[in-house]
Amino acid sequence: MFTMSSDDFTVHTRECDAVGSGMPISSLPDEVESMDDLDCDCWDVFDSFDEIE
């Protein structure tokens, strides 16, 4: 579900173009507590974490 970019280690959806050859992870990092912590536009399609999980 989540993928970490190999360039800057930000977290994206698996479909995001910014990820490149990033590695899949099973859950969001602990430091991500709100949608505001996710900068990339790929998260704009989600209204809340409830939709992601």
- Cβ 13 to Zn ion shortest distance, Å: 6
Q: Does 3 bind Zn ion (CB under 5 A)?
A: no
Characterize 11-45 residue by residue with b for buried, 16 or more Cβ atoms within 10 angstroms of its Cβ, and e for exposed: bbbeebebbeebeeeeebeeeeeeeeebeeebbee
Per-residue contact track with Zn ion, 17 to 46, x per CB under 5 A? -x---------------------x-x----
The interface region with Zn ion, picked from 4-12, 20-28, 29-37, 44-52 by CB under 5 A, is 4-12
